[in-house]
Structure 1
């Protein structure tokens, strides 16, 4: 029964009605194997990942841009941490000179 197979959940997300029907029939009749069953999911996931992988190429090729983004994020986090610590110190009545 395909609905007892954990792979079926992926078909519900990634496969159209035709593929889902093919999987249900093929699985119940043992006319397809597990590898065949998974192939449409693999293709769908790869297609979904493709735009993300293409956007990532820009960053893979420009390491300095990645470092700049990280440094910018670090500085923003430091500012938030400074403000939070200042609030905590005020609330606790602790003053550092």
Structure 2
């Protein structure tokens, strides 16, 4: 069963990242206030990005990955800024990076 990871922009400018096996239905649910608590309090919402996967579990995994990203990194993904994505993925903590060679 196919799956989608998607990012919505809420009316307050915040982003919501989710996954589903029926993108059209899920967007309708969000728009009707039947989605997540985050989106139902911030209507209207609009779809600003999505990725399609062969399996729903892959979409769910990608959702969890992207949910942990900063706003800037999500925006680099949505704008297809590969170099910026790489830069934002680099370790910025000197102590943590000490062992990276």
Structure with greater helix percent: 1
> Could you say which TM-score interval applies, normalised by the shorter chain?
under 0.3
Q: What's the TM-score, normalizing by structure 1? A: 0.25
Q: What's the TM-score, normalizing by structure 2? A: 0.24
Which of the two has higher C-alpha Rg?
A: 1
Structure with greater strand percent: 2
Q: Higher relative contact order at CA 8 Å, sep ≥6: structure 1 or structure 2?
A: 2
